[in-house]
């Protein structure tokens, strides 16, 4: 929810929910709810409030509305791990990717970065379980609080090496200008990427705000 007109739609739906569940909601509290959920699409928040009216007997907290929209944190962590494994195995770390999930990007960076996770496809069950444990802990921590800066795109080997050699590196040139955008269902689409700088400047990272 980013646009001024979103406020009116949100206030109306929150008011309906409060009325039905017997809760008095002040203007200040309404604004706090809006702020807590502002990173989510308006349509998803409105649907979450409708779901709360249908399934709850008490007025939901913002975290409960968020869980109704996104699912429980443990479930999200499990889904994120499967998305990561699938991407490593089917796309490979030579390609640049965008999971459209800041917590997932932050967890991957904390594990050493996208280009270092090629080994996941080669680990045995025991080693992979240790990696999953570490990933889950990181992902849940970043769901609760993102680091100040998160990369919007996880740069693959092709783009990174080509940037470092300023275009002289020839391997994989058909791939360096594209990013694989990976949906929650594991489906992918390819979009044009911005050029990757030889050194990562500040504006190559995305502020969490």
What does DSSP say about strands 149-150 and 178-182: parallel, antiparallel, or unpaired? unpaired
pLDDT for the residue numbered 164: 63
Q: Is 37 helix (H, G, I), strand (E, B) or coil?
A: coil
pLDDT for the residue numbered 70: 76
pLDDT for the residue numbered 173: 45
List per-block mean pLDDT (blocks of 10 residues) for the chain, which spans 209 residues: 81 94 93 89 90 91 85 86 91 89 94 93 91 93 89 84 56 59 68 47 39
Distance CA 3, CA 209 (A): 15
What is the residue whose two structure tokens read 């992979």?
Answer: 128
pLDDT for the residue numbered 189: 63
pLDDT for the residue numbered 145: 87
pLDDT for the residue numbered 169: 45
pLDDT for the residue numbered 39: 81
Pair of tokens at residue 6 = 């979103």
pLDDT for the residue numbered 186: 57
Alpha helices in 71-146 (DSSP H): 73-90, 102-110, 125-144
What is the residue whose two structure tokens read 């050699």?
Answer: 165
Q: With 0.95 as the threshold, say if the pTM is over it.
A: no
Measured CA distances, 56 to 21, 23, 26, 47 (Å): 8, 13, 20, 14
pLDDT for the residue numbered 170: 47
Q: Are 206 and 149 in contact (CB under 8 A)?
A: yes
Measured CA distances, 18 to 61, 101, 164, 178 (Å): 11, 31, 56, 46
The long-range contacts involving 76-79, CB below 8 angstroms and separated by at least 24 positions, are 76/139, 76/143, 77/135, 77/136, 77/139, 77/140, 77/143, 78/136, 79/184
Distance CA 5, CA 106 (A): 31
What is the C-alpha R_g of the chain?
20
């Amino acid at each position: 929810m980013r646009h001024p007109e979103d406020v009116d739609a949100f206030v109306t739906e929150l008011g309906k929910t409060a009325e039905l569940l017997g809760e008095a909601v002040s203007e200040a509290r309404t604004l706090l709810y809006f702020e807590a959920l502002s990173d989510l699409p308006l349509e998803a928040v409105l649907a979450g409030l409708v779901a709360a009216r249908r399934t709850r007997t008490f007025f939901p907290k913002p975290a409960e509305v968020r869980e109704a929209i996104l699912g429980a944190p443990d479930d999200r962590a499990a889904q994120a791990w499967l998305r990561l494994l699938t991407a490593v195995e089917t796309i490979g770390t030579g390609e640049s990717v965008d999971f459209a999930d800041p917590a997932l990007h932050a967890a991957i960076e904390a594990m050493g970065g996208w280009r270092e996770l090629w080994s996941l496809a080669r680990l045995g069950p025991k080693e992979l379980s240790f990696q999953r444990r570490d990933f889950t802990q990181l992902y849940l921590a970043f769901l609760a609080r993102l680091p100040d800066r998160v990369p919007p795109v996880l740069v693959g080997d092709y783009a990174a090496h080509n940037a470092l050699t300023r275009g002289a590196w020839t391997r994989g040139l058909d791939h360096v200008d594209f990013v694989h955008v990976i949906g929650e269902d594991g489906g992918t689409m390819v979009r044009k990427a911005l050029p990757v700088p030889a050194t990562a400047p500040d504006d190559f990272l995305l502020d969490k705000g």
